[in-house]
Amino acid sequence: MTTVPLEAPTRRTAGAGLRGVATADVDRHDRLALMRTGELGSVHSWELVTAVDGPGTRMTLFVSGCPLRCAYCHNPDTMAMKDGDPVLASEILDRVRRYLPVFRATGGGLTLSGGEILMQPAFAGRLLHGAKEMGVHTALDTSGYLGANATDAMLADTDLVLLDVKSGDPETYRAVTGRELAPTLTFGRRLAETTDCEVWIRFVLVPGLTDDQRNVERVAAYAASLNRRRAGTVTRVEVLPFHQMGRDKWASLGMEYSLEDTEPPTPEAVEAVREQFRAQGLTTY
Ligand code: SF4
């Protein structure tokens, strides 16, 4: 596998749309039935990217629906599942097939992102399995909050998990996301103990929200603990500086945005946090 180092990872906004991917013409009843079997998903957009969301050139699929309400969410337009477009799994897999030469040449593949991909586990399972049958590298980009929805079969079809650990301290996690931290930690331990998945930990550094030194320390200690459970589980930690790229989306959705006045962290602050991870023996970008 070719791994492209990310010198300056950033949080990205979701893709521009469904360009070339057909939406399914189904009524509400059929839509729900097909979603249960995973033949249909609620999709926001997709994008072809290089050196983000996993190794090589990737097709990243952004699905709709997320149980978290992150204060810094850069894709608030993906939060509601009902706002997504109905797309057949076979339609996505056709698109993956088209890019096989690119994936092979670059060591890339398919990344399932959102929103929260584990809100649609049957759809995710079909895509992962279909991609694996084509020999394509697969990645799940998830908060881990719904990790219990991931079946063992799904994880056997997953090469890489981009695990967003939004905070190490449960109270801060609640303040950031409105939900509990524990399911994410449990999911990461399961990945280390019962799967062969490679894990990249992602941590968004938000001044005044997640940047408390003890909070960072807990994320770093947790990431290191996964490598004690299975050596080589966490191969990379990405410290992503908060940015204001999602601000306009919040405004256009009429949603209240609490980080209006928050500045991005300084390069020095980002580097200091990366040092905290390095001190735990982790490879950090
Ligand atoms: S996990 Fe948080 S940042 Fe990601 S889509 Fe959901 S609310 Fe937004």
CA pair distance 45, 101, nearest whole angstrom: 22
Give Cα separations from 26 to 86, 93, 121 (angstroms): 8, 19, 20
**pTM, whole model, 2 decimals?**
0.94
Q: Which atom of ligand 1 is nearest to the CA of 67?
A: 6
**Closest residue (by CA) to atom 5 of ligand 1?**
115
The residue-averaged pLDDT of 20-24 equals 86
Instruction: Reply yes or no on whether the pLDDT at 96 is more than 60.
Output: yes
Beta strands in 92-233 (DSSP E): 109-113, 137-142, 160-164, 198-205
Query: Tokens in use for 45?
Result: 């957009």
Q: Which atom of ligand 1 is nearest to the CA of 68?
A: 7
Query: Tokens in use for 195?
Result: 């799967």
The best mutation among 13, 66, 74 to test binding of ligand 1, ranked by most ligand atoms within 8 Å of the C-beta, falls on 66
HSE value, Cβ hemisphere, 13 Å, CA-based, for 117: 31
pLDDT of residue 207: 97
**Closest residue (by CA) to atom 3 of ligand 1?**
73
In the CATH scheme, what is the homologous superfamily, with its name and number, of domain 28-278?
Aldolase class I (3.20.20.70)
pLDDT per residue over 133-192, tens digit each? 999 999 999 999 999 999 999 999 999 999 999 999 999 999 999 999 999 999 999 999
Q: Which atom of ligand 1 is nearest to the CA of 204?
A: 3
User: Measured in angstroms, how far is the CA atom of residue 271 from the centroid of ligand 1?
Assistant: 24
